[in-house]
């Protein structure tokens, strides 16, 4: 069986949106996306593999982690560890070191710490997320450098999400309790917004999370799987003149957790993680000005991880180390629209730049060698022209990328031009096939280039830097079709769909290469067996990834169904072996019923995931995963205006399972109960 994940739920359903007050006959595929073209367009109209998750769906699921939502998107999976709240995103079999660009309010999230898990992750509380906009493949190359896998863009809530027209002050409260299942705990948020004058509004939100360690479906406790989180968001929105908007936002998160086995090679440590996300954005757009639709964003993000050892000898206990990254950047683009005879033209052009500064400190071990400090600058510019003539759309774009990197006495740099061309046709109203060729460019990361030193005992092999790494180049050919129909069988119903097939060939693919000429590293009978063993990142592979993705939703107002899924295969063509970074196939199906004038919603979600054994021969025994099936059920009732109670049971069958590449098993049955309310005046 091809890997399949099936979800029956309200994801991407108009049922949920209708209950929350959005327009009838719309679905999440009607939500606005900007990542593929830098222009606002509905996801179903985008000539790219785009998926959008709105705030209504995020609030309905009330997930403990953001990866729960992301993994329901076709072609997207997350790698998570129960003892670490960070999330790594995999898109179409590509992840780590910036292959998937992750942004929050336009600010890059580039944190990375080396270990036996993902090499690139981010920390994000779902409580304040407004939308999740995902574009798969390097078709989003104009969105920024490095995204040969795709872009995942998070936008946080704004005052207008809490305030209704003519209200001066409003507040929103949400609370969720986990009771009676394999995990207990509480989490919630309180958000206040004010509009003292028509041209100024502000928002402040606080969130907390206190979850105990969970048990898997077999009743076995998963150590350190609890969560302790406090976060806050503040935002000011100013509209000083017609078409002018200024947004200032700041987000702070603090996570506390412990992990590690407590052995000599895997000591146990406490973790204190603090993140900040500061963004200033100016936009100008007015209906009577076709030449200027400007957006400029300046940002600074930080992720600071402080660790203290709590296992080992008395002399080792209390040893401290830290990993810190600061990213500063700017992004500016403008769209000009005009007509050339019968042809409509939207020309978008812009520039972007960011700098990563990594600082690490580990005087008692080698964390500062395996995650070396350094500085990297990545910059670029693009121009894109979107031509529309009758039933034909053509998008032609060209992007310039450059980078420079230095640290530890080593340095490297590079630059390249990457093209994109898309042709779409609408031969029949409601059907729009398209074909795309796009290239992307990813500069090597600081760790890939500068890693240096000895691996901790007992396998004391040597890490070797490689300043001669060449950037990766992704070349994708994609064909897709968009489907959009209203009033199909019943008045007011809606059908939306997107399907795509793709092949992405990555040249100069960077992989870690372990060399042990004597094949005796780690053998306890040979104490010096690792003396000749080395590890370095090298351009060893030509990678090829192929797949098919799709998502569909039909809403008949009283009921709805949705279906989404993906099947991807990846190969290292140089070694003629499968790529280990490709996840099992999945299908996501949803369904639900609405009663009592759409105030009561009842639904279910079924998730099927196939086994993954298509791996390099040496990796099958350690990393192969089994197929599993999950069923979730939920109910939501709006018992008064702006007051809602809900219940959800995830993994109602209490299945014991482990997701591919996760470090341990996932939770068994989890029962969530809660409410949300909003007051305004």
**Three-state SS sequence of 14-30:** HHHHHHHCCCCCCCHHH
According to the model, what pLDDT value does residue 9 have? Answer: 34
What's the full length of the chain, in residues? 681
Helix or strand or coil: residue 58?
helix
- Identify the H or E element spanning 68: helix 67-70
Close Cβ partners of 593 (under 8 Å, ≥ 6 residues apart): 558, 559, 601, 602, 603
383 is in which domain, residue-wise? 14-680
* DSSP labels, 504-555: EEEEEEEEEEEE-TTS-TT-TT-TTTTTT-EEEEEEEEEEEEEEEEEEEEEE
Close Cβ partners of 506 (under 8 Å, ≥ 6 residues apart): 94, 148, 472, 473, 474, 475, 541, 542, 543, 544, 545
Helix or strand or coil: residue 449?
helix
Helix or strand or coil: residue 4?
coil
Strands (E), 212-286: 227-241, 244-259, 269-286
For 503, list phi and psi in degrees, rounded to 5: -140, 125
Pairing of strands 472-486, 32-33: unpaired
- Measured from the Cβ of residue 263, the count of other Cβ atoms closer than 10 Å reads 10
- Identify the H or E element spanning 198: none
According to the model, what pLDDT value does residue 27 have? Answer: 60
Could you state, in chain order, the average pLDDT of each consecutive group of 10 residues for the chain (681 residues)?
A: 33 37 52 78 89 90 91 93 92 92 94 81 94 87 81 95 95 94 96 97 97 96 93 97 96 94 85 97 95 96 96 93 96 95 95 94 86 91 95 96 89 92 96 96 90 77 89 95 95 95 94 81 74 86 92 94 95 91 94 94 95 90 93 95 94 96 94 95 94
Q: Residue 348: inside a domain, yes or no?
A: yes
Close Cβ partners of 645 (under 8 Å, ≥ 6 residues apart): 636, 637, 639, 674, 675
Q: Residue 297: inside a domain, yes or no?
A: yes
Judge contact between 335 and 39, C-beta under 8 A. yes
Q: Residue 194: inside a domain, yes or no?
A: yes
The residues with which 462 forms a beta bridge, in sequence order, are 454, 534
- How many whole angstroms separate alpha carbon 167 and alpha carbon 236? 16
Q: Residue 507: inside a domain, yes or no?
A: yes
Helix or strand or coil: residue 80?
strand
Q: Residue 202: inside a domain, yes or no?
A: yes
- Identify the H or E element spanning 99: none
- How many whole angstroms separate alpha carbon 391 and alpha carbon 521? 63
Q: Is the dihedral of CA 24, 27, 31, 36 positive or negative?
A: negative
- How many whole angstroms separate alpha carbon 284 and alpha carbon 331? 14
Close Cβ partners of 160 (under 8 Å, ≥ 6 residues apart): 201, 237
Q: Give the tokens for residue 163.
A: 């305030």
Helix or strand or coil: residue 370?
helix
End-to-end Cα distance, the chain: 56
- How many whole angstroms separate alpha carbon 301 and alpha carbon 325? 8
Cis peptide bond N-terminal to 206, omega within 30: no
Q: Residue 2: inside a domain, yes or no?
A: no
pTM exceeds cut of 0.75: yes
According to the model, what pLDDT value does residue 13 have? Answer: 38
Q: Give the tokens for residue 468.
A: 């001669």
- How many whole angstroms separate alpha carbon 620 and alpha carbon 15? 42
Judge contact between 50 and 56, C-beta under 8 A. no
Judge contact between 513 and 497, C-beta under 8 A. no
According to the model, what pLDDT value does residue 454 have? Answer: 78
Burial class (CB in 10 A: 0-12, 13-18, 19+), 432: buried
140: region left, alpha or beta (phi > 0 left; psi from -120 to 50 alpha): alpha
State the alpha helices, DSSP H only, in 425-493. 446-450
Q: Residue 7: inside a domain, yes or no?
A: no
Number of domains, the chain: 1
Helix or strand or coil: residue 434?
strand
Q: Residue 537: which CATH number? A: 2.40.170.20
Q: Classify each residue of 208-231 as buried b or exposed e, where b means 16 or more C-beta atoms within 10 Å of its C-beta.
A: bbebebbbbbeeeebbbbbbebeb
Tell which residue, 24, 132, 13, 125, has the closest CA to residue 71: 132
Q: 620: which DSSP letter?
A: H
Close Cβ partners of 381 (under 8 Å, ≥ 6 residues apart): 349, 350, 351, 352, 399, 400
Q: Residue 477: inside a domain, yes or no?
A: yes
According to the model, what pLDDT value does residue 17 have? Answer: 41
């Amino acid at each position: 069986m091809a890997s399949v994940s099936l979800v029956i739920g309200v994801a991407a359903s108009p049922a949920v949106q209708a209950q929350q007050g959005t327009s009838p006959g719309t679905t999440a595929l009607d939500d606005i996306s900007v990542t593929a073209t830098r222009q606002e367009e509905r996801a179903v109209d985008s000539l790219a593999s785009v998926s959008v998750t709105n705030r209504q769906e995020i609030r309905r699921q009330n997930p403990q982690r953001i990866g729960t939502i992301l993994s329901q998107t076709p072609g997207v999976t997350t790698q998570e560890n129960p003892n670490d709240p960070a999330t790594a995103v995999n898109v179409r079999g590509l992840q780590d070191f910036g292959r998937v660009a992750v942004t929050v309010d336009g600010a890059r999230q580039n944190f990375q710490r080396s270990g036996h898990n993902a090499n690139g992750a981010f920390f994000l509380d779902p409580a304040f997320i407004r939308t999740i906009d995902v574009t798969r493949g390097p078709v989003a190359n104009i969105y920024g450098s490095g995204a040969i896998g795709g872009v995942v863009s998070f936008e946080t809530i704004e005052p207008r999400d809490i305030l209704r027209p003519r209200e001066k002050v409003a507040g929103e409260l949400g609370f969720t309790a986990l009771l009676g299942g394999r995990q207990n705990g509480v989490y919630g948020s309180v958000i206040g917004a004010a509009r003292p004058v028509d041209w100024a509004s502000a928002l402040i939100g606080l969130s907390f999370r206190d979850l105990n360690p969970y048990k898997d479906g077999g009743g076995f406790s998963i150590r350190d799987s609890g969560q302790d989180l406090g976060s806050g968001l503040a935002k000011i929105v100013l509209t000083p003149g017609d078409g002018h908007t200024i947004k200032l936002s700041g987000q702070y998160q603090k996570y506390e957790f412990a992990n590690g086995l407590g052995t000599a090679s895997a000591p146990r440590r406490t973790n204190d993680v603090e993140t900040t996300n500061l963004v200033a954005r100016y936009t100008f757009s007015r209906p009577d000005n076709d030449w200027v639709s400007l957006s400029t964003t300046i940002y600074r993000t930080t992720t600071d991880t402080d660790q203290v050892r709590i296992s080992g000898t008395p002399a080792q206990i209390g040893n401290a180390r830290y990993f810190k990254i600061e990213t500063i950047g700017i992004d500016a683009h403008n769209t000009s629209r005009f007509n050339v005879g019968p042809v409509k033209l939207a020309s978008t052009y812009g520039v972007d730049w960011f700098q990563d500064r990594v600082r690490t400190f580990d005087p008692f071990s080698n964390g500062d060698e395996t995650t070396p400090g350094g500085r990297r600058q990545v910059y670029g510019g693009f121009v894109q022209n979107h031509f529309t003539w009758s039933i034909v759309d053509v998008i032609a774009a060209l992007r310039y990328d450059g980078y420079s990197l230095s640290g530890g006495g080593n340095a490297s740099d590079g630059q390249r031009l990457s093209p994109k061309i898309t042709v779409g046709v609408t031969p029949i109203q409601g059907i729009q096939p398209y074909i795309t060729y796009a290239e992307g460019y990813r500069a090597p990361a600081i760790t890939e280039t500068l890693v240096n030193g000895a691996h901790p005992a007992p396998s004391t092999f040597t890490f070797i830097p490689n300043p001669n790494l060449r950037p990766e180049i992704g070349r994708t050919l994609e064909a897709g079709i968009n489907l959009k129909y209203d009033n199909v069988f019943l008045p007011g119903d809606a059908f939306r769909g997107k399907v795509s097939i793709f092949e992405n060939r990555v040249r100069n693919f960077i992989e870690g290469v372990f060399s042990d000429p004597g094949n005796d590293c780690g053998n306890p009978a040979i104490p010096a067996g690792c003396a000749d063993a080395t590890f370095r990142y090298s351009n060893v592979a030509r990678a090829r990834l192929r797949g098919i993705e799709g998502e569909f939703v039909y809403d008949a107002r009283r009921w709805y169904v949705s279906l989404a899924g993906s099947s991807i295969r990846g190969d290292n063509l140089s070694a003629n072996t499968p790529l280990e970074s490709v996840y099992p196939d999945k299908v996501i199906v949803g369904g639900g019923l609405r009663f009592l004038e759409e105030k009561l919603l009842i639904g279910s979600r079924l998730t099927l995931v196939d086994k993954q054994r298509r791996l390099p021969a040496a990796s099958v025994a350690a990393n192969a995963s089994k197929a599993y099936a999950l069923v979730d059920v939920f109910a939501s009732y709006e018992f008064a205006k702006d007051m809602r109670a809900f219940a959800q049971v995830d993994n109602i069958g209490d299945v014991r399972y482990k997701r591919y590449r996760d470090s341990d098993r996932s939770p068994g049955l989890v029962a969530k109960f809660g409410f949300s309310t909003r007051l305004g005046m």
